[in-house]
Structure 1
Amino acid sequence: SEVDSLPYVPNFKFITATVIKNSYSAYNNYLTIDKGTKDSINVDFGVISSKGVVGIIDNVSKNYARVLSVLNTKSRINAELKKTNHFGSLKWDGKSPEVVQLIDIPKQAEIKIGDTIVTGGLSTIFPKGIPIGSVQSFNLDETGNYFILDVRLFNDMTNLGNVHVIENINAKEILSLEPTDE
């Protein structure tokens, strides 16, 4: 089954859900899935498909959860170049439902068209190494110090059926160590 192809990731739990509503043509897109608090789903859980990252849960009721899609201009996900581990922030410019942007990649990074982008390790939401997409193009930003990469998503965000919700079992403990006076 599809679930068997998911990597075994220690300290993360996977719960399968079905997408019952999905927008991808607006500026800020969301999905709704058929699992909620009764299924131990909570805000800030990651959502992936068998092909890659879908988004992050930002609202939850007893039976349903709303997912902030990667196709949302408010979305920010820690992501990295798989081959070099240079990391940055994944965001969306609101244009194509097939392409997101990876920003803040230092200009020292060696990048090639087609390089794979995966989730980074600096997140309590996603395990490191979940596929996101491949580099379609890249340019230096206005400072000249960082690359902006156009990343073609592995997921067809317009056609999602089953997804997997990810719970980081240690997230609360990790977050409790971070300073709260910022």
Structure 2
Amino acid sequence: MQQIFNFIFRNSTRILFLLLLCISFLLTIQAHSYHRSKIISSANYLSGGVYENINNVSEYLNLKTQNDALAIENARLKSILFATTDSISITKLEKTKENQPYDIVVSKVIHNSYNVHENYLTLNSGALQGVKSDMGVINNLGLVGIIDNTSPKYSTVISILNVKSRINAKIKKSNHFGSLIWDGKSTGFVQLIDVPRLAAIRKGDTIVTGGQSVIFPENINIGTIDKVEIDDQTHYYTITVKLFNDMTNLGHVYIIKSNNREELNNLEKTTKNE
């Protein structure tokens, strides 16, 4: 306490000067509207900057919630889009769910392998969400894989970067079909094989899903043609496809549930047994 008194005594002149200076500032601000407006403006500028930074932090912390909400909305829009044709309006499709051949389950990749020949992903959605084997998995950029096994809360996916994967695909411009496989080499490229040589092919053409199964709707993006070769044994084209997706960096995905799957499977089984 004695040290405080000593400090005040030694600096009494300076303290008195600062006190009088503050009083003079206050009197000037109160007496002149111009000075008062400048002070208020400066205070607002400082407080506004602080509030903006606080808001930026708050928005960053809320990104996960916002991303989840966007993923759910994207799933709803995709289920409508997969049912849309040129002669059907989206408004009618939204009103009648039974017109939609596909439903979408939003999920998230919690494990992803891409550095071996048989790569799998793990999702945080399972049987409790209606997920079953052989359902297609996509994201905003395109094809991801096919559901392999499920547990109540989780599911595994055969990645398109799996040498056992084989998916029907086509060249978007010409509608020529082939089988999409992976040669086990690059994570950025897959191969479209068994494409007939009469197909008109150009580098940069888009490859999409063929729609010849209940797993994937037609015209889901896969990638673009990077290189074309002729297989010496089959004499068909082997097309190297550069993926739209970065398969090493996956977040939210969409699991495609076909509402017509059971009916189609039963019909095909009946046809085979006859």
Cα distance 1:144–1:29, how it changes in 2: closer, same or farther (>3 A)?
Answer: closer
- Greater strand proportion: 1
**Counterpart residue identity of residue 163, structure 2:** T
**1:171 alignment partner, one of 238, 258, 261:** 261
Which residue is 1:92 aligned to?
Answer: 182
Does residue 78 of the first structure (1) align with residue 168 of the second (2)? yes
Which residue is 2:227 aligned to?
Answer: 137
* Structure 2 unmatched runs, 5+: 1-69, 84-100
**Counterpart residue identity of residue 21, structure 1:** H
Does residue 8 of the first structure (1) align with residue 81 of the second (2)? yes
Does residue 161 of the first structure (1) align with residue 251 of the second (2)? yes
- Name the SS of the counterpart of 1:88 in structure 2: strand
State which structure, 1 or 2, has the greater radius of gyration over its C-alpha atoms: 2
**Is the CA contact (8 Å cut-off) linking 1:51 and 1:131 kept in structure 2?**
yes
- Name the SS of the counterpart of 2:81 in structure 1: coil
Q: Aligned partners of 1:22 and 1:180: how far apart in 2?
A: 37
Q: Aligned partners of 1:5 and 1:154: how far apart in 2?
A: 20
**Counterpart residue identity of residue 158, structure 1:** T
Shift of 1:118: 0.2
Q: Aligned partners of 1:83 and 1:48: how far apart in 2?
A: 21
**1:46 alignment partner, one of 136, 142, 146:** 136
- Percent of counterpart pairs with the same letter? 48
1:108-161 deviations in Å (ceiling 9; x for gaps): 001001110000021110000000000000111113631000001100000000
Q: Aligned partners of 1:24 and 1:52: how far apart in 2?
A: 17
**Is the CA contact (8 Å cut-off) linking 1:118 and 1:132 kept in structure 2?**
yes
Which residue is 2:62 aligned to?
Answer: none
Which residue is 2:159 aligned to?
Answer: 69
Shift of 1:5: 6.2
Shift of 1:177: 1.6
Query: Segments of 4+ in structure 1 off by > 4 A?
Result: none
Which residue is 1:126 aligned to?
Answer: 216
Tell me whether 162-171 or 143-152 shows the greater mean CA deviation: 143-152
* Structure 1 unmatched runs, 5+: none
**Counterpart residue identity of residue 203, structure 2:** I
Aligned residues: 181
- Greater helix proportion: 2
Does residue 28 of the first structure (1) align with residue 101 of the second (2)? no
Which residue is 2:198 aligned to?
Answer: 108
Give the TM-score taking structure 1 as reference length.
Answer: 0.95
Q: Aligned partners of 1:49 and 1:167: how far apart in 2?
A: 14
Tell me whether 126-135 or 138-147 shows the greater mean CA deviation: 138-147
**Counterpart residue identity of residue 16, structure 1:** V
**Counterpart residue identity of residue 81, structure 2:** Y
